[in-house]
Amino acid sequence: METIVLKVNGMSCGGCVKSVTGVLEALAGVSKADVSLERNEAVISYEAGKVSREQMVQAIDDAGFEAA
């Protein structure tokens, strides 16, 4: 199990946090996503072979936020 921290910009409320958590955990290979509103980041636990950083960034972008 690997961990990665992505910066997420554009979140403004608890609902936004829920959205980001939801779209990340919906990806196959992601086991857990801890999203913090104050730190503007998502700490993601995933299986290296099943999902890539690009896919995670894409999912966050598709949800309307900026991921880095």
Partner 1 sequence: MTAAAPAACAATVEIAVGGMTCAACAARIEKQLNKLPGVEAAVNLAAERAHVRYAPDLADVDRILATVVKTGFTASVSTADTHAEEKARKLAAYQAEVKRFWISIALTLPLVGQMLFMFASGADAHADVLPRWLQFALATPVQFWIGWRFYVGGFNALRGGSGNMDVLVALGTTMAWVYSAIVTLFGLHQHVYFEASATVITLVLLGKILEARAKARTTAAIEALIKLQPQTAHVERDGQLVELSVATLIPGDVFVVRAGEAVPVDGEVVAGNSSANESMLTGESLPVAKAPGDKVFAATVNADGLLRCRATGVGSHTLLAGIIRMVEEAQASKAPVQRLVDRVAAIFVPVVTAIALITFVAWWGIGGEFTPALINAVAVLVIACPCALGLATPTAIMVGTGQGARAGVLIKNAPALELAEKIDVLVVDKTGTLTAGRAETTDLQPVAGVERHELLRLAASVEQGSTHPLAEAIVARAKADGVALALPEDVMTVAGRGVSGKVDGRVVLAGSPDWLAEQGIAQPPIDSLASAGRSVVAVAVDGRAAGLIGVADPLRASSRAAVQRLRDLGVEVVMLTGDNAATAAAIAREAGIERFEAGVLPDGKSAAVVRRKTAGRRVGMAGDGINDAPALAAADVSFAMGAGSDVAMKTADVTLMRNDLNGVADAIDLSRATLAKIRQNLFWAFIYNVLGIPAAALGLLNPVIAGAAMAMSSVSVVSNSLLLKRWRPQRKG
* Alpha-carbon gap, residue 52 to 40, rounded angstroms: 20
Element spanning 14, H or E: helix 14-25
List 18, 32, 39, 53, residue binding partner 1 (CB under 8 A): 18
- Give residue 66's region: left, alpha or beta (phi > 0; psi -120 to 50): beta
Select from 14, 28, 49, 54 the one that contacts partner 1 (CB under 8 A).
14
16 binds partner 1 (CB under 8 A): yes
Binds partner 1 by CB under 8 A, chosen from 39, 64, 66, 68: 64
Binding positions for partner 1, rule: CB under 8 A: 10, 12-16, 18-20, 22-23, 59, 62-64
